[in-house]
Amino acid sequence: SQQGEEDPQALSIQEGENATMNCSYKTSINNLQWYRQNSGRGLVHLILIRSNEREKHSGRLRVTLDTSKKSSSLLITASRAADTASYFCATDAWNYGGSQGNLIFGKGTKLSVKP
Amino acid sequence: ETGVTQSPTHLIKTRGQQVTLRCSSQSGHNTVSWYQQALGQGPQFIFQYYREEENGRGNFPPRFSGLQFPNYSSELNVNALELDDSALYLCASSLERLEREQYFGPGTRLTVT
């Protein structure tokens, strides 16, 4: 079963705009990660935020985590056409009954950035 | 590029057949996880191998099995293929079994007809 649910399912913006994607999950977690996937290929790790962190930055990426609401958001600033991809959140709950190594993914947000 | 490779890239099989997919982990990584990704869905965890032993398994039937070799490369075997097995199969390697970040290969696209 999928724990994370991304919102929106699809997002279309112009180059230079900011893109915000949200993720909700159901159980306690050790950490939450965001991945990017281009055209049904392999996933690329973007950023990991631990359960005791509230905000993390990496380049044009900003991730927030609210464990009380069981939600996270990914902000991509000054988007580029190359950011066009699907974005997935994945939760790691190995210390809360999950299998070791089992990242639980949502269905993803499909981002389209138009030049 | 993550350094994780998978073969083949694409595969077409007939229902009832058996298939073997292969994965070479990133250098120095001793843990490999396999995921199935149906069209329009997120990846679903199949199982993980750590130092040649199965270390965790998702909700997949026994006809999904795997191996990990001494060089930490891995195979995913699926017997008695069903139409619903059509998906992108991803392997991911990590430095240790509890390492949080996983490095994904490009995937194998399996089509079952």
A1-56 pLDDT, tens digit each: 446 678 899 999 999 999 999 999 988 888 899 999 998 788 999 999 999 999 99
Give the closest residue to A102 by CA, choosing from B55, B84, B23, B20: B55
Q: What is the mean pLDDT of chain A?
A: 89
Q: With an 8 Å Cβ cutoff, is B98 touching chain A?
A: yes
Q: Six-digit token pair at A10? A: 């699809």
What's the whole-number mean pLDDT along residues B33-52?
Answer: 92
Q: Return the SS3 of B77.
A: strand
Average pLDDT over residues B23-47: 92
* DSSP string covering A15-30: TTS-EEEEEE-SS--S
Q: How far is it, in rounded angstroms, from Cα B104 to Cα B99?
A: 14
Query: What mean pLDDT is predicted for residues B54-66?
Result: 92
Average pLDDT over residues B95-99: 64
Residue A101: predicted pLDDT? 62
Read off the pLDDT of each residue in A98-115 and give the average, rounded to a whole number: 84
The CB density around residue A95, as the number of other CB atoms within 10 Å, is 12
Q: Does A24 touch chain B (CB under 8 A)?
A: no
**Residue (of A7, A40, A48) closest to B41 by Cα position:** A40
Count Cβ–Cβ pairs < 8 Å, chain A vs chain B. 80
Say which residue the tokens 């900003």 belong to.
Answer: A62
What's the average model confidence in pLDDT over B20-49?
A: 92
SS3 percent helix, strand, coil of chain A, rounded to 5, is 5, 55, 40
* Cβ–Cβ < 8 Å for B106, B81: no
- Quick check: B44 contacting A, CB < 8 Å? yes
Residue recorded with tokens 């079952």: B112
- Render pLDDT for B70-96 as a digit per residue (tens, 0 to 9): 988 999 999 999 999 999 999 999 886
Min Cα–Cα distance to chain B from A67, Å: 18
